[in-house]
Amino acid sequence: MTSKLQPATRRRWRGSAPRLTPYLFLLPVLVLFAGFKVYPYLYAAWLSLTKIIKGQTTFVGLGNYGRLAADPIFYKALTNTLIILVTQVPLMLGLALLLAVAFNSALLKFRAFWRTAYFVPIVMGLVAYGILFSTLLNSHHGLVNFLLESVGLPRVPWLADPVWAKVSIIIALTWHYTGNSAVIYLAQLQSIPGELYEAAEIDGATAWQRFWHITLPGLRPAITLTVVLSTIGTLQLFDEPYVLTNGGPNNATLTIGMYLYQNGFKYFDFGYASAIGYVLTGIIGVIALIQFRFLREKQA
């Protein structure tokens, strides 16, 4: 008797509710996404076409974008951001790769300790991180210059010289994010079958050959992911120059993110700041597309 009822019940459920249920479960996320992502995106798009003139939000078409195209400070910020991108991302990912291989090695003692130690910086708060580095790199009484002097090297104006300030930002970024990439690589390393290494060893492959022909190809999905994520993160760079150099000296560490912030929150020019945001989004989109295409072709 029950067996007769069951199909009917099942059919009724299948008929109406099941179509709605998944969406009800998704609703909170969709509402949050619409409220905190879609709405700001659309509002910023509208803002980027306006300018506040005598207290009135006025439609100026592509005026802000035209101004941006002729703004020397924007180009300076763009150049700084790209310089940091092409030096810091390869440096960090290279280091992360080496660390991941080391963490995975059976020869390493206290593996859990080392893994944690390198991962901890990522959870450090921005303010603590800023204070830590500005104290370490202080040119008068910082620990780094003290150590340099104690081995007979000259003091370095870490945060006060246009070139060294960029170097400081790169060092801070690398310290903060390397562990994160290393953990992603480490996870991917677990998916590379051990037999491949055994077979290679039997065939007489050297350690370098095993790394080059087995480890690297095995890590390719993780490398693609970290390259794209790190590139996006660096293009949006804001925290480090904000806490360490305030974008200075003389705009040497001004990034696009910093310039956007200055225009919005220092100069109250929200239209212009939104235009910068959209141009940055465009740049990120193009670069990410190129990276995906490039890395995919290599994979094939």
Cβ 101 vs Cβ 186: under 8 Å: no
In the complex, the smallest distance separating the C-beta of residue 88 from another protein, rounded to whole angstroms, is: 19
In the complex, the smallest distance separating the C-beta of residue 41 from another protein, rounded to whole angstroms, is: 17
> Which is nearer to another protein, 70 or 107 (by Cβ)?
70
In the complex, the smallest distance separating the C-beta of residue 56 from another protein, rounded to whole angstroms, is: 8
> Which is nearer to another protein, 250 or 299 (by Cβ)?
250
> Which is nearer to another protein, 267 or 294 (by Cβ)?
267
> Which is nearer to another protein, 102 or 160 (by Cβ)?
160
In the complex, the smallest distance separating the C-beta of residue 217 from another protein, rounded to whole angstroms, is: 44
> Which is nearer to another protein, 215 or 263 (by Cβ)?
263
Which residues of this protein are in contact with another protein, per CB under 8 A? 52, 54-55, 70-73, 138, 140, 157, 159-162, 165, 244-246, 248-251, 262, 264-268, 270
In 3D space, the residue among 255, 280, 260 whose CA is nearest the CA of residue 84 turns out to be 255
Q: Secondary structure of the chain in the HEC alphabet?
A: CHHHHHHHHHHHHHHCHHHHHHHHHHHHHHHHHHHHHHHHHHHHHHHCCEEEECCEEEECCCHHHHHHHCCHHHHHHHHHHHHHHHHHHHHHHHHHHHHHHHHHCCCCCCHHHHHHHHHHHHHCCHHHHHHHHHHHCCCCCCHHHHHHHHCCCCCCCCCCCHHHHHHHHHHHHHHHHHHHHHHHHHHHHCCCCHHHHHHHHHCCCCHHHHHHHHHHHHHHHHHHHHHHHHHHHHHCCCHHHHHHCCCCCCCCCCCHHHHHHHHHHHCCCHHHHHHHHHHHHHHHHHHHHHHHHHHHHHHC
In the complex, the smallest distance separating the C-beta of residue 247 from another protein, rounded to whole angstroms, is: 8
> Which is nearer to another protein, 270 or 278 (by Cβ)?
270
In the complex, the smallest distance separating the C-beta of residue 55 from another protein, rounded to whole angstroms, is: 4
In the complex, the smallest distance separating the C-beta of residue 126 from another protein, rounded to whole angstroms, is: 13
> Which is nearer to another protein, 13 or 265 (by Cβ)?
265
